[in-house]
Amino acid sequence: MSSATPATAQAQAQRSQRAPMLLDVKTNALDDGPGIRSVVFFKGCPLSCVWCHNPESRMATPELSFDATVCIAGSGCSRCIPACPQRALNRRNPGLVDRAACDLCFACVDACPPGALARVGRPALAGDIMATLLRDKPFYEASGGGVTFSGGEPTLHMRFLGELAGECKAEGIHTLAETAGEFAWERFERYVLPHVDTVYYDIKLLDPVVHRKYCGVANDRILGNFARLAALAAAGDVELLARVPLVPGITDTEDNVLAIGGFLLAHEVRRVRLLDYNPTWVDKITKIGAVNEFAAQPAMRAWLPHDAVSDLRARLAEYGIEAA
């Protein structure tokens, strides 16, 4: 019998209802901010960028992933097929799973010995996440690291993000939020901004028409939010780093990069990070049963030439912008 009072049970239920979906909490990370960090990956994003590096993070709901390279059907294993109550698994199905029939009960995941079938996204409470993050606090302190909130888009969950970041700050842990900028400023200012030390801010495309074409939303709020953060950064209230993900033939054009450079200069920002294109997202698309016509394009399957990135950095330097 539960010992919780009705009031306690109600509070726990409310917290559970507003708990976001998480993809993962990655520890010992070295690429998402200074020092050794833990990265909390939220699930769900208001953008629909055609090149999304983490396509499994776009939906805010759970998904089923199937990795054919891990499956051991060739060794005679078929435990997952009879485990599915909806009969959604069949070797004749492309990618094994009939997505229309699957009801995401994840019985197949429990029955899959090698983990070829996997659940993508689990609800989590701040206390559970903090217990994981605090285990690595000595590494943060020794390396000048901390905790990074990423995604997906962490600002989809303003109150939860603020609660988690606030608990980190209370422990003396450096906090960093990665965002694409499509959020309500008032809520960000109220719930999140007081608890983050650094913001990594992605600006993908400056042209509003092209941005809507490739990212699914307008960019006026994104640019407006960046302008507000830039003013706060100039006053020393928060550290801000602009980032431009380079995508072949879309964001990596000289016109786009220099247009973004001009926008940054207009807001007295003279530092930007160019993110090299990573084609590994193409294989992730098939694992979650998604369809993306851009994934079939040869340019999407290749890394950007190093010289091309160096040339863009040199052109920005001519503007007086340091491009890492």
Per-residue pLDDT tens for 39-91? 999 999 999 999 999 999 999 999 999 999 999 998 999 999 999 999 999 99
CATH number of the domain to which 69 belongs: 3.30.70.20
Among the candidates 85, 120, 155, a domain finishes at 120
Same domain, 158 and 187: yes
Quick check: is 316 in a domain? yes
Is pLDDT at 13 greater than 60 in this prediction? no
- Phi then psi for residue 117, to 5 deg, are -95, 130
Task: Kindly state the average pLDDT of the residues 244-270.
Answer: 96
CATH number of the domain to which 49 belongs: 3.20.20.70
Quick check: is 55 in a domain? yes
Q: Encode burial over 240-276: b for 16+ CB neighbours within 10 A, e otherwise.
A: bbbbbbbbbebbbbeebbbebbebbeebebeebebbe
Same domain, 29 and 73: no
- pLDDT category of residue 10 using cuts at 50, 70 and 90: very low
Average pLDDT along the chain: 92
Task: Kindly state the average pLDDT of the residues 196-211.
Answer: 98
**Do 130 and 173 meet the contact criterion of CB atoms below 8 Å apart?**
no
CB atoms inside a 10 Å sphere around CB 81 = 16
Domain that holds residue 104: 63-120
Which burial class, exposed, middle or buried, applies to 278 when counting CB atoms under 10 A from its CB (0-12, 13-18, 19+)?
middle
Rounded Cα distance between 261 and 271, Å, is 9
When mean pLDDT is compared across 1-5, 161-165, 191-195, 253-257, the lowest value belongs to 1-5
- On the CB side of 278, CA atoms within 13 Å amount to 12
Same domain, 82 and 231: no
Among the candidates 92, 120, 148, a domain finishes at 120
Same domain, 283 and 201: yes
Quick check: is 67 in a domain? yes
Give the pLDDT score at 297.
87
Q: How many structural domains is the chain composed of? A: 2
Same domain, 220 and 291: yes
Same domain, 72 and 214: no
Taking only the tens place, the pLDDT of each residue in 153-194 is: 999 999 999 999 999 999 999 999 999 999 999 999 999 999
Quick check: is 286 in a domain? yes
**Do 248 and 207 meet the contact criterion of CB atoms below 8 Å apart?**
no
Give the pLDDT score at 218.
96
Give the pLDDT score at 18.
60
Contacts 24+ apart (CB under 8 A), 289-292: 289/64, 289/66, 289/95, 289/97, 289/99, 290/55, 292/50, 292/55
Same domain, 130 and 86: no
Among the candidates 120, 139, 155, a domain finishes at 120
Same domain, 251 and 165: yes
Same domain, 234 and 285: yes
Same domain, 169 and 185: yes
Give the pLDDT score at 14.
42
Give the pLDDT score at 167.
97
Quick check: is 1 in a domain? no
Give the pLDDT score at 302.
87
Quick check: is 154 in a domain? yes
Least Cα distance to 108 among 135, 125, 89 occurs for 89
Same domain, 110 and 126: no
Quick check: is 206 in a domain? yes
Least Cα distance to 257 among 181, 316, 319, 322 occurs for 316
pTM of this structure? 0.91
Is pLDDT at 7 greater than 80 in this prediction? no
Task: Kindly state the average pLDDT of the residues 307-321.
Answer: 93
Task: Kindly state the average pLDDT of the residues 270-274.
Answer: 97
Quick check: is 2 in a domain? no
Same domain, 140 and 128: yes
Beta bridge partners of 24: 41
More confident residue, 251 or 299: 251
Task: Output the CA–CA distances (angstroms, integers) from residue 44 to 21, 22, 41, 308, in the order listed.
Answer: 8, 9, 10, 32
